[in-house]
Chain A
């Protein structure tokens, strides 16, 4: 798999058109790594000159900030910004809405000013520029619902890019009752991913997954590694893992284009 690092690029005196910020989930989580690899396959297919930071990447600081640890967040942010600025990065793409939000909105005041896009946004623009074509066929007629990640949707008002990609795959998109700006959280945000939920009478991921299952979709699509984990757990909880798949949009494109 062709994955150049910034250090390698620099050694060759090259500057990539976009830096792929993999994020912690995308780097370490077994499920999320598949999404990372799928996205790289598409980037290579579309001949996008990209690079990753590799071992120079570090947590964006999002979970620390949302847990209230502003010190740790800013230390992470400033360390990352130092590296990004040293490489003169202009544009960043990431498949994690949490990294996306933090890099895009919270880094600029600390000196990190980049054009930051979510992978679904980049894929959409590649299609618009004619550099990528999505094949219909594979998912044609499949009932599919899309779960809006909070940090992509409400947090940054990106609702259409993932849906347009799904449309290109000719799926039958079925919206949940709570969708887009009214979408229900998967339960992972605000550092909840890393702790037990507080006491209640239901789990958020079960509440959300049941809503997705009620659409009778065979695939629950999303664009966030954490949402993916939560909803996959929800599907297992409902004993539907043999009937319903939880997939990232990038993985679906890889299947559709048989990459």
Chain B
């Protein structure tokens, strides 16, 4: 019966990984609800961007304290996960610390994991304090309702528990402690257990090992429901980010075709339009009108709120919060995804992103200043969604604020946003 733990482990592994894969497939399917957009150009620049921004965390450190703490947690997460390889092999084969044959190399490795685990633990405590004691405003904005707040805290608790278990597991591994190498942190924890018997030591070590393993699988599958998806999506998100100057908005091609037709004196106004000439809709009123990169942006957002904390509209008390734009886009996308899960394909549920999630008031508060785009540590672009939704309001619904309609009428009539004659354009010369 000694192989039961191995079987149990294998079962856990299969179940944990297959649920994870299924969820990832759902995420990909939901992202693909978005419209096509070609970002396959400039591969060199894109790799560089990803290397710098996602792997190198270049935009995180613009705020040094949270940036450095984040790098510790991030490095810890990646490096300590090397230990997971050993855990996988040990779990499946029923071995114990299979890499120990590597001798000093092994103990140096485990030793560095311990130090990192300790640093991660401290960083996570500071993160927790920033949220719960210092109460940084960006963690308490209006959109940070109970779930987003708890989600963030859950992740911190997960980290605290996983790191503690790793240290306890090492501290109660008597054989490992006797090596007295590779235990820079756990050697200080080990004395706490010194009164316990060998069996109890073994029992605690095994328990910590198992909870650690189960914790990892739970965490893996928690991702799907959490803002924490950024640990995976930050990489494709930075790779596919817009490389153009931030001020450059896309020119809608469908509009270009129509305008060209309008301005061409030789065009036949009665000619039947080509099948793909005009889209069903200008701009975006629901997630399916956005492109897949905008939808990936929404899944990537980890709700740090750096965008909102620099948004001039938000700073001055307007309804708009760029973070909320991303959160609402994701909420709606997940709602559409659930309908597809239930019915096989999307059926109109009488709701859409516009009005049911994002209000025109939010959209009209934006100054298009790009502060949110600049601030995002993973190159999310909330502005592009705002503009696409304004386009729907104006071009499909003629629902611009009255003063903007006046401005646009003026441009149409006299080529300026104000009501001045185009013939007076050069009057300044003689004034």
Contacts and interface: CB of A to CB of B under 8 A. Distances in A.
Contact of A54 (B260, B387, B425): B425
Nearest to A71: B255
Main secondary structure, interface of B, reads: helix
B365 interface: yes
Given A67-B390, A201-B317, A185 B415 contact: no
Contact of A70 (B252, B365, B368, B427): B252
Contact of A67 (B252, B255, B369, B408): B408
A181 interface: yes
B407 A200 contact: no
A61 B417 CA distance: 9
A5 B426 CA distance: 9
Given A24-B416, A61-B411, A68 B390 contact: yes
Contacts of B374: 154, 181-182
Interface stretch (B69-77, B242-250, B269-277): B242-250
Contacts of A203: 316
B408 A64 contact: yes
B283 interface: yes
Interface residues of A, number: 73
Interface in B367-400: 367-371, 373-374, 387, 389-395, 400
Contacts of B403: 194-196
A74 B401 contact: no
A3 B429 CA distance: 7
B263 A198 contact: no
A54 B426 contact: yes
B258 interface: yes
B258 A71 contact: yes
Contacts of A238: none
A71 B259 contact: yes
Given A54-B426, A78-B263, A197-B318, A70 B255 contact: yes
Interface of B: 244-249, 251-252, 255-256, 258-260, 262-263, 282-283, 310, 312-313, 315-320, 361, 364-371, 373-374, 387, 389-395, 400-401, 403-404, 406-408, 411-412, 415-418, 420, 422-431
Given A52-B426, A156-B246, 11 more contacts: A27-B427, A28-B424, A36-B428, A37-B431, A63-B408, A71-B255, A71-B395, A101-B245, A150-B371, A155-B370, A198-B364
